[in-house]
Amino acid sequence: MPNIDFLYDTADNTLETIIDNGVVLNQGQTNSISFRFFFKDYDQNIPFTNSDILSLGCLINIQRPDGTSSNNVITSPNTEDTCYNLVISDWVTAKSGTLTITAKLYNAATEVTTTFGAATLQIVASASVSQDTIEDAQYQALLDSLAELQSQIETRRYTVRASEDIAAGDLVTFAGTTGGSGKILVAKARASGNFNINTNPEYIFGIAIEAIANNQEGEVQTNGLINNINTNSYTEGAILYPDLQNAGKLTNTPALPPNNRMPIAVTIYKHQNHGILIVRPTFWPTMSQIKDVDTSGILTGQTLKWNGTKFVAGYSSGVFYDGNLPSQAELVDYMTWFDEEA
């Protein structure tokens, strides 16, 4: 099987070179080609061993000329050539243009992922696409159909109207409606003012998948995958939370109490243009929103006490033991006394 070899330098996590071995990628090719991924410390001239190959996983991200991506594709360890193999065919070369390959090594023991420099290959346009490959129009129609199917089944996406300028990737909150139009008004998520997500986390609505100008309509996703978005400031595999200091933004760092640290999404793929998020907001209520808790009028120093129906605010009146009193010394040294007149 023809090979194209990708050589990576573990000293600085860069692409050293590509050896195409005379192989030309043509649009709609039907023959299989093996991509082989080699790793070596070129500074110290230390090659990878078979032990390295078997202990580390190699994941590949493939960005095709049509803008679609295949992320974290698993390669096969090849101990004969001390590399990783990935066999590709027309699923990669259906469109002509630039193909971008990004390799990552994953250490399962430490859960550390190392990303190496991107490699690019050219897919040469073909005047006559093989019958084994669908035509461009059919291919685009299939992509559109799959995108629509994903929108209906795997995701929840809504057309909304913005009450302020909103950027792609912003976390937004419910901010009212536009009446009979059926459209929902949204605003950037904030930890203050109206629709405060700290005190009322249920206002969280979703993530904008595109920039929406003030008073204009756009789409917000409340659940599922978002593709082709800027996730460059996030960590792959990390949970994202509301950034309480910056309206609409997300962060890898959860807020500390008494702020609400609702998990909003997970970063699947880190990339400036083709990043991927999976959206799954989890609304953690405040104590006052739990159905059997009444915190109305609570004061500093008060606790919650059960009144037979619900927990209510009040001062604690003592410490009680049920038939198992502590020793006299413990009563004197460790007992906390309460002054009911205070």
Identity of the amino acid at 85: N
Q: Per the domain annotation, does 149 fall within a domain?
A: no
Q: Per the domain annotation, does 141 fall within a domain?
A: no
Average pLDDT over every residue of 123-136? 60
% the chain with pLDDT above 70: 82
Q: Per the domain annotation, does 310 fall within a domain?
A: yes
Task: State whether 112 and 198 are in the same domain.
Answer: no
Which pairing describes strands 217-229 and 204-208: parallel, antiparallel, or unpaired? antiparallel
Q: Per the domain annotation, does 307 fall within a domain?
A: yes
Report the candidate in 282, 278, 252 with the shortest Cα–Cα distance to residue 156.
278
Task: Identify whether the C-beta of residue 48 lies closer than 8 Å to the C-beta of residue 40.
Answer: yes
Average pLDDT, the chain: 83
224 C-beta neighbours (distance < 10 Å), count: 17
CA triple 326-332-336, angle to 5 deg: 85
User: At residue 133, does pLDDT exceed 70?
Assistant: no
- Residues 142-179: pLDDT tens digits? 666 655 555 454 457 888 999 999 999 999 999 888 76
Task: State whether 125 and 178 are in the same domain.
Answer: no
Task: Identify whether the C-beta of residue 68 lies closer than 8 Å to the C-beta of residue 17.
Answer: no
* Torsional class of 115: left (φ above 0), alpha (ψ -120 to 50), beta (otherwise): beta
Task: Identify whether the C-beta of residue 103 lies closer than 8 Å to the C-beta of residue 116.
Answer: yes
CA distance 159 to 177: 12
Task: State whether 222 and 318 are in the same domain.
Answer: no
Q: Per the domain annotation, does 214 fall within a domain?
A: yes
Residue 226 has what pLDDT? 87
Grade residue 9 by pLDDT with cuts at 50, 70 and 90.
very high
Task: State whether 261 and 179 are in the same domain.
Answer: yes
Grade residue 119 by pLDDT with cuts at 50, 70 and 90.
very high
- Rounded to two decimals, the pTM is 0.47
Q: What is the CATH classification number for the domain harbouring 111?
A: 2.60.40.3350
132 token code pair: 């084994």
Q: Per the domain annotation, does 339 fall within a domain?
A: no
Residue 95 has what pLDDT? 80
% the chain with pLDDT above 90: 33
- Residues 286-332: pLDDT tens digits? 777 788 888 888 888 888 888 889 899 888 665 555 666 667 676 66
Task: State whether 100 and 50 are in the same domain.
Answer: yes
Query: Between these two residues, 314 and 29, which has the higher pLDDT value?
Result: 314
Buried b vs exposed e over 80-99: b needs ≥16 C-beta within 10 Å?
eebbbbbebebebbbbbeeb
Task: State whether 194 and 89 are in the same domain.
Answer: no
Task: State whether 70 and 173 are in the same domain.
Answer: no
Task: State whether 163 and 224 are in the same domain.
Answer: yes
Residue 84: domain span: 3-129
- Residues 258-288: pLDDT tens digits? 787 789 999 988 888 888 888 888 777 777 7
If one counts the domains in the chain, the total is 3
Q: Per the domain annotation, does 37 fall within a domain?
A: yes
Residue 73 has what pLDDT? 87
Task: State whether 71 and 21 are in the same domain.
Answer: yes
CA distance 97 to 25: 10
Return the residue matching tokens 């990552």. Answer: 104
Task: State whether 270 and 294 are in the same domain.
Answer: no
Q: Per the domain annotation, does 76 fall within a domain?
A: yes
Last residue in a domain, options 84, 112, 129:
129
23-27, 59-63, 113-117: the lowest-pLDDT one: 23-27
Task: State whether 260 and 242 are in the same domain.
Answer: yes
Task: State whether 178 and 92 are in the same domain.
Answer: no
